[in-house]
Amino acid sequence: MTVYLVGAGPGDPGLITVRGAEVLGRADVVVYDRLVDPSLLDLAPADAERVYAGKAPGAPEMDQAEINALLVDRARAGGNVVRLKGGDPFVFGRGGEEAEALAATGVPFEVVPGITSAIGAPAYAGIPVTHRGASTHFTVVTGHEDPAKGSADVDWSALARTGGTLVILMGAGRVGEIASRLVEGGLAPDTPVAAVRNGTRPDQETVRATLATVADAGVQAPAAIVVGDVAALDLTWFESRPLFGRSVVVTRAREQASELRNRLEVLGAEVLELPAIAIEPIEFDVPQLDRYGWVVFTSANGVTAFFEHGLASGDLDARALAGRTRAMCSPPACPSAATKSKCWLSTEPSPRRRIRRQSNVCAAAKSTRSRSPRRRRSRTSATCSGRYRRRSRSLRRSGPSRRRRQRSAACASTSRPPSTRSTGSSTRYCAHFPPPAAPEPFPTDAAAHAGGAGGVGGGVVPASIPMSWSASQALPSP
């Protein structure tokens, strides 16, 4: 039984420490605050107890004494308890009071530091708390003291004389009064002030003002207020991302939404996962594949279903696709693109030799555009058959027009693939590498088809299927 006082950081879930994520992953009970990002709770086991102990201004869910008692009780029950707190537990997080309660009752505990909002929020607003020539030190102070004490511990006049950067936490409700006392202490009324609300979160907002105008600037909690010359620096990076301030709903299946979510969050969007579909495997019998010429997958889910729930259930593997069976997701833009597609499978005889041949064809098509006419002619001669090379030697002393006629007779001409074709032009291929032939037609009785949103189905495919892509792009038949 151990209680972990974990700092969750200022708001961005990616700022939690490795140690913090580790102890969350084996927690039995998680007691979390109001400012903790909800996604961090997903790091805890699904069966872990989650207890909300947030403290909204003026309306706490439970007071500090109740939280202390809860930590002791859950720890004595014999589990690992994680007290998840925003920022750092020992920087205005009342983690010291909780540690005192645990120590007094003999409950072992561990403190996992976190990134305090006094540093994290200004950094996400592009404000360094120290800067050469502007500030060599900074002071962190609370703007909300315990009213039960009857006296104030913060000497604002002394802080005004200290200089450097002043970072005020929990002071949004008293920002006007604090600014007046700092001016009375000696700071100039035009001293720059920046208030960062919801720092490091997708809805972060930065308000810039001076000590004379900050009272009317509309500063709202929760905010980290920076006072000093560094507040005039505007090194904005977080709020300038292209999707900052936008909310995006992702309706993909939960197990497939993480990659898209990460990409959207990198662009600054706030992502809400609302799965509208669920991918569930179905059992099916794989037909006799030797009766078909093609197996077509229309999605990654279809590939997974075919191999894991089709072939595997019949004690088969990829060798069942041997022979003349082909599998692809979509026709490639260039013959050599088959070597780059993860979904393109070909188990015909000598696939490496065929793919290499098509790669050379595409390389030849690309090279004809970049080389000069003289060099292109010499390269074409070098790739032709040995018989043609011997004949070309005898023509070296002839005029260039005769050599071009000889080359035209020895090399086949075909249209460029759409990816390299220009209007009114064509690409010549050497006889050693002829243009790829069209694939054999689909069988007229049936074709195996796998795809959809995770399932595999079958259907009859007519022998003549209209295609918008050139036959020269297809994988040639053996």
Residues pairing with 346 in the sheet = 326
Q: Give every CB contact of residue 297 below 8 A, 6+ residues apart in sequence.
A: 303, 306, 327, 328, 329, 343, 450, 451
Record the tokens describing residue 43, joined without a space: 């790091």
Determine contact, residues 299/451, Cβ cutoff 8 Å.
yes
SS3 231: helix
- Between strands 412-414 and 326-328, the pairing is unpaired
Nearest to 67 by CA among 37, 41, 89, 42: 89
Q: What is the DSSP letter of 287?
A: -
What residue type is assigned to position 351 of the chain? P
Q: Which of 12, 28, 88, 170 is catalytic?
A: 170
C-alpha 281/C-alpha 454 separation (Å) is 7
Query: CA gyration radius for the chain?
Result: 35
Q: Is 170 a catalytic residue?
A: yes
Candidates 55, 62, 229, 366; catalytic one: 55
**Would you say 294 and 348 are in contact if contact means Cβ atoms under 8 Å apart?**
no
Identify whether the C-beta of residue 332 lies closer than 8 Å to the C-beta of residue 341.
yes
Tokens of 286: 């794989």
Dihedral of alpha carbons 224, 247, 276, 15, sign:
negative
Residue of 28, 33, 37, 88 with catalytic role: 33
Alpha-carbon span 215 to 365, nearest angstrom: 69
**55 catalytic per annotation:** yes
Q: Could you give the residue numbers annotated as active site?
A: 33, 55, 170
